[in-house]
Amino acid sequence: MTAPTSPILITGCSAGLGHTIALHLARRGHRIYATARKPETLDRLAAHGCQTLALDVTDEASMTQAVKRVLHDHGRIGALVNNAGYAQTGPVEDLSMAEIRKQFDTNVFGAVRLCQLALPSMRAAGHGRIINIGSLAAHMPLPLWGGYTASKAALAAFTNALRIETAKFNIHATLIEPGYLSTEFTDHVRQNLPATDAGTAYEADLTGLESVLSCIHSRTQGQRTTTAATPAATQCAKVLAALAADPTLVARRVERVLASRRPPARLLVTAHAHAAARLAGLLPQRHWDATVRALFATR
């Protein structure tokens, strides 16, 4: 494949999926602008030929400055990959509005604003690609993940509207929705768990989630699962460990979308993502709810 001459701007490249996508595309000869809130985390990508920039998707000035830099260097943005995001967990009842706004600022509004900033140069060039990284979570309700799930569903809706609006300009918007990947994502969620105050209505659910995440962490570190872990949490961790996919799989899909003349509108990635989305659509809602409760060790 011949690498495009136009640059690709990618957000959230400090670690995990964004880092993998940027590294994979750079190795394939693409001109990459890898970004993160802390550009010092991008040294490895710089060593592989990526241009690195500071970009905070919750800060208007930061987004504007990053886009201006790419436009100054090349006159246009050939492709935008909106990958930056995080998961805020906790019961919907207990999440503060500030936490929910922060979740949407990062996972939705930042992506939308970057699309707005990138689109004028794409329209002027008569060509462009926008890839928004969603999640399997948009297809299925996850207890204690209401803010995250809602943000990914909102991003999907924005992407669908954007795709239709920009098609006449030869700009293609694609939503890529990965399943569970072998990245640092779970550890980041674990570190940001809300406090489990004794006596709250959701104490057991939060304890179950914490147990699941701790089991996953132990397995990824090659450690024995703590004896305090519940059987349900241990089983859930085993299932997720077996399903965890290499993030390079997503990076390859991104590359294919960039090269395609007719990119797909929405692309689930990993076999278990396809299976889970199909199952969620087939099962009666009460049966699906019971399945999810059992899997995520909630009551």
All residues at 6 or more sequence positions from 206 whose CB lies less than 8 Å from its CB, including other chains: 90, 91, 144, 193, 194, 196, 200
Q: Is residue 41 part of a domain?
A: yes
Q: Is residue 118 part of a domain?
A: yes
Cα distances (angstroms) measured from residue 82 to each of 6, 21, 173, 285? 17, 11, 11, 31
pLDDT of residue 188: 81
Q: From CA 186, how far away is CA 257, in angstroms rounded?
A: 27
- pTM value is 0.90
pLDDT of residue 2: 43
Q: From CA 149, how far away is CA 192, in angstroms rounded?
A: 16
Q: Is residue 104 part of a domain?
A: yes
Instruction: Give residue for tokens 């990947």.
Output: 181
148 tagged catalytic: yes
Q: Pick the catalytic residue from 33, 86, 148, 180.
A: 148
Q: Is residue 159 part of a domain?
A: yes
Average pLDDT by stretches of 10, the chain with 299 residues: 72 96 97 97 97 98 98 97 94 93 98 98 97 94 90 98 98 95 81 69 84 73 55 68 85 97 95 89 88 69
Q: Is residue 299 part of a domain?
A: no
Are 65 and 82 contacting, i.e. CB atoms less than 8 angstroms apart?
Answer: no
Q: Is residue 198 part of a domain?
A: no
Number of compact structural domains in the chain: 1
* CA quadruple 157, 162, 164, 170: dihedral sign: negative
pLDDT of residue 151: 97
Q: Is residue 220 part of a domain?
A: no
Instruction: Give residue for tokens 């990914």.
Output: 152
